[in-house]
Chains A and B, each alone.
Chain A
Amino acid sequence: MIKNGQAIAAIALAMALPFATTIVLAQDDEPVVNDYSNMGAEYNPSDDSGDDASGEDTSTSSDSDEKSASTDDSSADNASESGKDDGQLYVVECADGRDCKVGEDVMTGYEKFGSHCSQCHGQNAEGSTFAPSLVQRLKDMNQGRFTAAVAGGVTRMDSTTGQYSVMPAWSENKDVMNNLQQIWAFLRARSDGELPAGRPEPLEGNG
């Protein structure tokens, strides 16, 4: 799994160089026709599964919070798989699935996600018309792959639409990179169905 993540990072890093060099501003009179063949676009069929919230979810959006509420074990699996060994990735305490209070990591993750990620992935990480739902996406993603995607970015051409999806590389952004664990914890809690949409409250003594 980690290997997969590194591969994505490598491809993504390779993209950084062509950025500067492959901007072809045609000088000729003929209308230009796109040639994406050498742009290093990654296409991985498995990436398409659960990619688009509107594609898979045929019920109302509120369902996604409820139907996965009992999968809390997967977070521990993912955490240990990706090398985290202190056992508890996030703390979420809710009363009847609402009025949730969260640990410091999740609260910070919520804020950093809101500041940097929500512009595309939506304020509740449920996606937009142009970026996938991370609530869905993280159901099949470990921390290694998540980290690689955030740090290195993702450029993917969807062969069914012929159109690009691009996530920028955040490796230069300290506010994201220094809080990756917290953002992961927040998204994990969302994806595991433990944390409903909306702004959580910090647990007592959290500041």
Chain B
Amino acid sequence: MKFNPVKGALRATTTAFAVSALMASSTVLAQDNGDKESSDKSDSGSTNLVEMQKDSSNWLMWSGQYNGQRYSELDQITAENAGDLAPAWTFSTGVLRGHEGGPLVKGDTLYIHTPFPNKVFAIDLESHAIKWKYEPTQNPQVIPVMCCDTVNRGLAYGDGKIFLQQADTTLVALNADDGKVQWKSKNGDPSKGETATNAPLVIKDKVLTGISGGEFGVRGHLTAYNIDDGKMAWRAYSTGPDDSMMIDPENTINGITQEPVGKDTSLKSWEGDQWKIGGGTTWGWMTYDPELDLVYYGTGNPGTWNPTQRPGDNKYSMTIFARDPDTGEAKWLYQMTPHDEWDYDGVNEKILVDQEIDGEMRKLVVHFDRNGFAYTQDRTNGELLVAEKYDPAVNWATKVDMKTGRPQVVDEYSTSGKVGENVENICPAALGSKDQQPASYSPKTGLFYVPTNHVCMDYEPTKVDYTAGQPYVGATVAMYPGPNDITNPVKEPMENRMGTFIAYDATTGKIKWSVPERFSVWSGALATAGDVVFYGTLEGYLKAVDAKTGEELYSFKTPSGIIGNVNTWKYKGKQYIGVLSGIGGWAGIGMAAGLTDPNAGLGAVGGYKDLKNYTQLGGVMTVFALPDSVVEKTESDSDDEVASN
């Protein structure tokens, strides 16, 4: 069961193609700079980070805290005063491509990243001056190997270091104080289509990271590197033999049956050697429960979008995993979409919450899958508790069978066995009802706030051959706005809308309210103790809405479309809200040229207004705060409250 990291590295090298031999040979790039005093075990990011994340002045990881809730205890900005918000300062990244992810804040420093070439800036919160800047050297040939723009979802902090997962798969540790490179490790090979877009996550003495390339036949894996020197600690593949996946046939639990998964379950679900190009990439967000000591993440689509070419359940693509972060061993797993026929990656963030179901307090993991179902599971063992559609348009399956865990696929929308046939009006589109844009959760309201896509598609599978480093897609997809249906809208929905921002109750599977949006909501949401929820739109609006009602409290047009996450922190007594704008990503490909409405006839654009009429490229971070006068009033009001109590 023990995986030998050195052997793993060698295997990666020997299977590399001749062209990439030089690149592959530099797999281990750790360097010893003799400056290790700072990484004394007792002070290492490890145990520390579990405590540090609780300080809401900081924003130390992609979701603020390990639980993925994207919730802040800060309550200076409230539903009452959010209308007074105003931009406080801005920062241009100088990069034009799609800007996903968001800023990290520790103390008096803000850290912000960019898409390729993956610059990192450390910005002094007092002077707003650049303390240091890091810009890696990466070969531009990595650009076209990235399926959907050269996005990067952000940085991780731990052990006095800032971690950047570069596009070319190099994981870099930078000294948080001065930006100096501490170590580098190469996690994959771009000449085989392996790239990276994810934000790493620091857990104890390790940095965990994923791999992208689901459209290039990449065999996905989650990999942990030692925080001190960048040496690989373990690697768990998504497909293949049990030991390579760090699955113990006797002990790894199938979330549905609550029984051990048994032997060779992945191998048996593929034809021949197809698992080797089987996909299951790991480009999404990771969360961590320090008490259970489990890390949660999901795997992406199986290799080739043409399902007829890969019979079987294609395990463990489209799967949620819970693993031991020290050893990598899989504790439990559950495959949401067996034998995917629509590109419904299972990578969306797994949010960890404690809520009551049927009168019993449960440790839950909730996720809003690309396939349009929201899954509520017991995070200790994967037991499936609720699985409901979070967009009424979802039609590819009628429901999830709670006994088998399998979606009940509607024949009409199946694309398997239909090579060369155009399967029409499938909802959601390949983009999913939600893609990478992370949702948020407020323990105060018990609701999830979910940025969603409302887009459908025609899907025509085509035969495709695998060539290393080449796209391995095998489908022609045409996307267009979904039908006009919406659940509990807070205002009149526009025609041909493509997005909705919803409040969802994961204990009942009900949509509480929906804010209709013209375009997909591709930005990460934020919920706060002030009962304000924030998100951005593709037109570029940063919006604040009431956490209870969805009523809009504030809206500001930032310089470009927003696909980044809204984060918050406190500096010198003031709460700040920061978000990157910079249109692009998959939203950019789908929207930039305009989507056609098939019902209006070929070439017609119906009532749909082109995104480019609203926004242009450009990476800018905008930081918001309340004016001093409002802050003073708010603080004195709350003092009065305390006094009167």
Binding site for B on A (CB under 8 A): 15-16, 18-36, 39, 41, 53-54, 60-62, 65, 97-100, 110-116, 118-120, 122-124, 126-130, 133, 153, 155, 157, 161-168, 170, 172-175, 196-200
Taken together as a complex, chains A and B put the C-alpha atoms of A23 and B214 apart, in Å, by: 23
* Chain A: CB-nearest residue to B144: A168
Q: Contacts A31-B179, A99-B602; is A122 near B135 (CB within 8 Å)?
A: no
Q: Contacts A126-B594, A167-B144; is A62 near B135 (CB within 8 Å)?
A: no
B residues near A122, Cβ cutoff 8 Å: 589, 592-593
B residues near A126, Cβ cutoff 8 Å: 592-594
Measured CB to CB, the closest approach of chain A to B433, in angstroms, equals: 19
Q: Is B470 an interface residue (CB 8 A)?
A: yes
B residues near A124, Cβ cutoff 8 Å: 593-594, 596
Measured CB to CB, the closest approach of chain A to B200, in angstroms, equals: 17
Binding site for A on B (CB under 8 A): 19-23, 26, 29, 31, 33, 94-98, 116-117, 132-141, 143-145, 147-150, 168, 170, 174, 179-181, 184, 186, 191, 215, 420, 422, 458, 460, 462-465, 467, 470-471, 473-479, 583-584, 588-589, 592-594, 596, 598, 601-605, 610, 612-613, 616-617
Contact B137 A24 (CB under 8 A): yes
Taken together as a complex, chains A and B put the C-alpha atoms of A108 and B617 apart, in Å, by: 33
Measured CB to CB, the closest approach of chain B to A196, in angstroms, equals: 3
Taken together as a complex, chains A and B put the C-alpha atoms of A39 and B141 apart, in Å, by: 10
Measured CB to CB, the closest approach of chain A to B475, in angstroms, equals: 7
Measured CB to CB, the closest approach of chain A to B12, in angstroms, equals: 16
* Chain A: CB-nearest residue to B166: A25
The SS class assigned to the A binding surface is loop
Contact B603 A130 (CB under 8 A): no
Measured CB to CB, the closest approach of chain A to B140, in angstroms, equals: 4
* Chain A: CB-nearest residue to B560: A129
Q: Contacts A65-B603, A98-B604; is A110 near B589 (CB within 8 Å)?
A: no
Q: Which one of A23, A32, A34, A53 contacts B26 once the chains associate, using CB atoms below 8 Å? A: A23
B residues near A62, Cβ cutoff 8 Å: 594, 603-605
* Chain A: CB-nearest residue to B475: A115
Q: Which one of A19, A53, A167 contacts B139 once the chains associate, using CB atoms below 8 Å? A: A19
Q: Which one of A16, A113, A174, A198 contacts B596 once the chains associate, using CB atoms below 8 Å? A: A198
A residues near B602, Cβ cutoff 8 Å: 98-100, 196-200
Max chain A Cβ within 10 angstroms of own Cβ: one of B148, B458, B478: B478
A residues near B186, Cβ cutoff 8 Å: 25
Max chain B Cβ within 10 angstroms of own Cβ: one of A120, A170, A198: A198
Contact B139 A31 (CB under 8 A): no
Contact B603 A20 (CB under 8 A): no
* Chain A: CB-nearest residue to B23: A23
B residues near A168, Cβ cutoff 8 Å: 141, 144-145, 470
Q: Contacts A26-B137, A119-B471; is A133 near B601 (CB within 8 Å)?
A: no
* Chain B: CB-nearest residue to A18: B139
